[in-house]
Structure 1
Amino acid sequence: MVLTTMHAIPRFRAFTVAAIFTLSLFYLLAADSYLGPSQSAVLLDKALELAPEERKSATTPTASNSAKQSSEPTLNPPRILLVSAMFPLVKSKHSKAEYAEWLSYFLNNITTDVYFYTTPDMEPTVRWVASANLNITVNTSYASPFDILPLRGLGETYNEMHEWDREKHRHVPELYAIWNAKPFFLDEAVRTLASQGQHYDYAFWNDAGSFRVEHRYSAWPSDRRIQEVWDEGSRKTGKKEEDLLFFPIFGLPSVRTKSWVEDDGPVDEEFSEGSFFGGRPHTIHWWRRIYYEYHNHYLSRGIFVGKDQTLINALFLLFPDRIFTVWMSDPDAQAHKGLVPHFDESYLGACGPVWYYYQFWLADRETRREMRLLWLDRSSWAAWGWWKSRQPCRLTQALGMREVLVKRFGKGWQPPARSVLIPAESSPS
């Protein structure tokens, strides 16, 4: 009798769950067939109640942050600069047509000021693709990334380093140079414009090919959103906002990386994302200094430094308190709660490509709403109209890099000892 009862209870629970799910499905199907587009948008807004971070950002502002959260523009919104580059490669993973299309999604849609490095031959293409209303500066001073000061004279060394690359069939030395030129290009753009009287509060490196499909971003990243996330990053890290650098991450380092030390060199794992990063001018210059000191240190020891992500990973481990991040696939995030495995397109709903979640995360509230609608229409569940009101992309929290690493390695983890000397802040090179 006991065995019968114990088997009956699971069967009863399964029947109950199935019945509830069926009734819910019937209700949502009926609602979707009845509601028009505007009412479906209302359902989307209601569904956002499932997203804790989005709900929190919509709460009544306190006195201390009312200027940031108000629907009225701030009196002195921060000035933001995007820095990018495009140089021709003998061998590329993508076609010229693909790059031209991606470049148009960037320069023809985004309205934020842009500083763009390219060759004299490619300048007409860049200007033709850019919107007529875009405030863009095109710098053609460098025929190749090997012409910039940190990489000058390293062409032959990079050719030799190519033989050390486990992915040498996919990469060429010139690509290494483009990747490793990013910290210099970002810092030089900010300092060059400042010398001309054009001062920016925040600047970000943005890969020229990082907008790959139709989108709704324009005034991106949002100045108000930047203020919000830097304030959150400061609270999470205990650092001043001007001392923080933002990098998105794709995942966590492996557990074995817990024993990593400075002499081990770059960390060859899928951890950091180098497509977008930045912060205040002071910290951008700091990043340039540490990046090239460690680049040169490892290269002098015959260690591969051709892939910027692997060097960035190492610097995260060495300087975690200066970095904050967003990680879309965090299984412990409050925003992830309640989503159904296998049915949801990602950890946070229908959010487009995981790699570019930071674009959504740094957009203003209305643009996030527009992107949700766009993604839900493209969703693999789009034919199931009832699903649209349940799977909008959620907004997750910022994380300090030390917080991320302690999550992986345990509470006792501390950054490895550092021996490489970093030069003091210098004047523009």
Structure 2
Amino acid sequence: MHWRRSSFALICFLFIFGLFYLLYNLSERPHTPVLGGPVDTAVRNSSSTLLVSAFFHLSKSKHTIREYEWWLCQFLGPITTDIYFYTSVEMLPLVRKCRGTLPITIDTSFATPFDVPPLQKLKDVYRGQLELDRERKIHQSEELDASWNAKPFLLDEAAKILARQGITYDYVFWNDAGSFRISHGFTDWPSISRVRDIWREGSALSGEKEQDLLFFPVCRVPHPSYTNWEEHMGPIDDYFSEASFFGGSPHTVSWWRETYYAYHDHYLRQGHFVGKDQNLIFSLFLLFPSRIIAVWLDDPDAPAHKELGPVQDTAHEGFLGSCGENWFYYQFWLANLADRLAMNEIWEKAALWSWGGWRRRRECRLTRVVWVKELLHRQFGKDWRPPMPSIAVPGNS
């Protein structure tokens, strides 16, 4: 009898162990979204906003894995907004560690950026294009180019995957995994009330429907010499937009995906360099400026800058006060009041330990929404008209 009880206990143990093993391995399957956090997928959209991001460990990178781990945890740890995150299976533990118990969908469908459908079979083509890159000594990797060009697909696809599960959002945004590089005060970010105010203002400026507007931060404005740019000239090798954060309604994000890859593929067939997303985005801004709204920290005509007056301490202040690194001003701009106050305190304390810390810094402030078409008219003149697009893309009529 004793051996029967022992055998029965062993069988029960093996059954339970096998069940847990099966469940664990199903959760690790690379083509199954892995859900983390305390909330079931059926009710997990706790806000109207979704953030989408990705992290793939590249064979060549300007930054170490330790740097990326720090940045990743600064993003995933404090931000409470729902997140959809693409990564490889080997990076899964790091993503889970950084996110903790906050809601997240982790998608391990793609091991590298070249596994993303629009970029499949393009690795050798991208490698051959590296010689066309003016900044090839900095970038050095076709994988990096692919990680940039994968963003429109990954953003739109995340929204579509969740929508098929009955989980929908009013706004979906791409946010680079390494874009939060310091300890910060952001939590409920981007603030849905700020986002709604921005889209209302953008619609009033442009006359476009809110659902048709796409947001990008702007880092500088085009030189007037680009007035005569035409579609056939290809991507513009210069800076206009940033690409670390962008998005809008699911409708507009789908439009952007279709438009982006239609022109990516067209310019690639023509032999143009397509490895740098900002170059292609610049061209699309000139072709479709009516649909783009933005924020520009260095806008000399912005009322917020004029109220502030001349910059008194150029080493520590910008056009809108002490706002940290200019590139990431949009983080402050999209935050709610409490988070903005927290960030101003962080910057003020950091300034005390900097050279000239005895000087009182002027707090960072909000600025207006800019409409890219109006911005281009400022640069190119009121008579400028966008070039006529010739590539057929749904929604671009």
Normalised to the residue count of structure 2, the TM-score between the two structures is 0.85
Distance 1:415 1:84 in 2: 31
Distance 2:364 2:256 in 1: 32
Equivalenced residues, count: 346
CA deviations 1:376-417 (Å, max 9, x no partner) are 2223577326x24xx011110001110111111111111011
1:114/1:137 contact within 8 Å kept: yes
Task: Say which structure, 1 or 2, has more relative contact order (CA 8 Å, 6+ apart).
Answer: 1
Give 1:392's aligned residue.
Answer: 363
Distance 2:100 2:216 in 1: 27
1:77/1:224 contact within 8 Å kept: no
Alignment of 1:144-163 (within 5 A): 144-163=112-131
> For structure 1, which segment, 209-218 or 152-161, has the greater mean C-alpha deviation from structure 2 after superposition?
152-161
**Residue among 363, 380, 392 paired with 2:335:** 363
CA deviations 1:118-175 (Å, max 9, x no partner) are 101111111111132x110000011111111111111111111112112222220011
Q: Percent identity?
A: 52
Q: Give the Å deviation of 1:365.
A: 1.2
Distance 1:218 1:399 in 2: 25
SS in 1 for 2:129: helix
Give 2:138's aligned residue.
Answer: 170
Give yes or no for the alignment of 1:416 onto 2:366: no
CA deviations 1:267-312 (Å, max 9, x no partner) are 1112110000000000000000000000000000110000000100
Distance 1:169 1:248 in 2: 26
**Residue among 83, 86, 104 paired with 1:136:** 104
SS in 2 for 1:324: strand
SS in 2 for 1:122: helix
| Stretches of structure 1 lacking an aligned partner (at least 5 in a row) | 1-75
SS in 2 for 1:137: strand
1:111/1:218 contact within 8 Å kept: yes
Give yes or no for the alignment of 1:372 onto 2:344: yes
Distance 1:293 1:166 in 2: 24
2:255/2:394 contact within 8 Å kept: no
> For structure 1, which segment, 376-385 or 292-301, has the greater mean C-alpha deviation from structure 2 after superposition?
376-385
Q: Give the Å deviation of 1:77.
A: 9.5
**Residue among 261, 269, 279 paired with 1:310:** 279
**189 and 304 in structure 1: CA distance in 2 versus 1, 3 angstrom threshold:** same
SS in 2 for 1:277: strand
Alignment of 1:18-417 (within 5 A): 79-132=48-101, 134-171=102-139, 172-337=141-306, 338-343=308-313, 345-379=317-351, 380=354, 383-384=357-358, 387-388=360-361, 391-417=362-388
Distance 2:135 2:305 in 1: 34
1:78/1:202 contact within 8 Å kept: no
Distance 1:341 1:174 in 2: 40
Q: Give the Å deviation of 1:418.
A: 1.0
Q: Give the Å deviation of 1:94.
A: 0.7
Q: Give the Å deviation of 1:342.
A: 4.2
2:219/2:239 contact within 8 Å kept: yes
Distance 1:278 1:326 in 2: 13
Distance 1:80 1:125 in 2: 24
> For structure 1, which segment, 280-289 or 78-87, has the greater mean C-alpha deviation from structure 2 after superposition?
78-87
1:328/1:354 contact within 8 Å kept: yes
Which amino acid is 2:320 matched to? L
Distance 2:303 2:370 in 1: 12
Which amino acid is 2:379 matched to? R
SS in 2 for 1:170: helix
> For structure 1, which segment, 163-172 or 191-200, has the greater mean C-alpha deviation from structure 2 after superposition?
163-172
1:83/1:204 contact within 8 Å kept: yes
Q: Give the Å deviation of 1:247.
A: 0.4
Distance 1:342 1:312 in 2: 34
Q: Give the Å deviation of 1:203.
A: 0.4
**413 and 77 in structure 1: CA distance in 2 versus 1, 3 angstrom threshold:** farther
SS in 1 for 2:96: helix
Which amino acid is 1:154 matched to? L
Q: Give the Å deviation of 1:178.
A: 0.4
Q: Give the Å deviation of 1:199.
A: 0.7
1:180/1:308 contact within 8 Å kept: yes
1:376/1:382 contact within 8 Å kept: no
2:287/2:389 contact within 8 Å kept: yes
Which amino acid is 1:287 matched to? W
Which amino acid is 1:401 matched to? V
Give 1:10's aligned residue.
Answer: none
2:49/2:169 contact within 8 Å kept: yes
> For structure 1, which segment, 192-201 or 415-424, has the greater mean C-alpha deviation from structure 2 after superposition?
415-424
Question: What's the C-alpha RMSD, in Å, of the aligned pairs?
Answer: 1.6
1:326/1:397 contact within 8 Å kept: yes
**159 and 77 in structure 1: CA distance in 2 versus 1, 3 angstrom threshold:** closer
SS in 2 for 1:413: coil
Distance 1:107 1:147 in 2: 24
SS in 1 for 2:243: coil
**418 and 236 in structure 1: CA distance in 2 versus 1, 3 angstrom threshold:** same
